[in-house]
Structures are given as C-alpha cells and as structure tokens.
Structure 1
Amino acid sequence: MRLVYKIAPPVLQNGVVKNAFAVDGFPEQLHKSATDHDDFISVTTGGLANKIANCINTGKQCR
C-alpha cells in the first residue's frame, strides 16, 4: 500500500518552519516517527510459512 499526499514542502522563514506537517495524528506523542505503526497480515497454506521462516532464519536468499 502506498499513501501519497500532494502538499507544499516545509520551508524555514525567519527561523520559523512554514508548511510543517506530521504523518500521524497523535500530538500527545509529539508526532515522533518511532510511534507510527502499520499492520500486515500474511496468510499462507501448506506449510509455506514454515518454509519461509526456515529460509530467512538460516540466512539463505529466499525465492
């Protein structure tokens, strides 16, 4: 998923940031990127999840 907004970039004018924006809507968390999150759910069948995990966990280049 890609979410895109057409907005003016922030600029610094007389020591003040104009057109500032934040990705999240949590002012109480000071708009820190470390507090942002997303969800991902992967559904696999036939033991594919175990094959994927084994490949990744053994350091292989998985295809």
Structure 2
Amino acid sequence: MRSLGFTLYLTILDIGSFINSFLIFIFSNNLSHAHLDYLYWLLAVLSFVKLLLYLDYARSFIYI
C-alpha cells in the first residue's frame, strides 16, 4: 500500500512537471525572451484560488 501511494505521488508530480513545461512553452519558445514572471504570477494566482476554495470547504465542513 505504501509503494502504491508513493507511485501515485510521483505520478502527480510528473504530471505537474509536464503541465509546467507546457505553460513555459506557451509563453515563449525561447527561454531568453520568455516572461517567466508571468508564469509565476499565474501560479501564484492559481494557488490563491485553491486557498480560497479550501477555506470555503473547511468553513462549510460539519463535524459529525
């Protein structure tokens, strides 16, 4: 069970790396001219949205 969990963790990590590479490719083909600060702002905004969704879920959670 532990090896299955570790495998799923690495799979999710790899999928995130592919998505990150795709986002960098979208911003520019040449990394010298790419505005990677836009990518990091996008990731910061997405993380903030995830935080808001988590807080909304945590607030609405009812302990049984």
Q: TM-score range by the shorter chain?
A: under 0.3
RCO comparison, higher one (Cα < 8 Å, 6+): 2
Judging by fraction of residues, say which structure has more strand: 1
* TM score, norm. by length of structure 1: 0.24
Q: Which structure: greater helix fraction?
A: 2
Computing the radius of gyration over CA atoms, which structure comes out larger, 1 or 2?
A: 1
Give TM-score, length-normalised by structure 2: 0.24
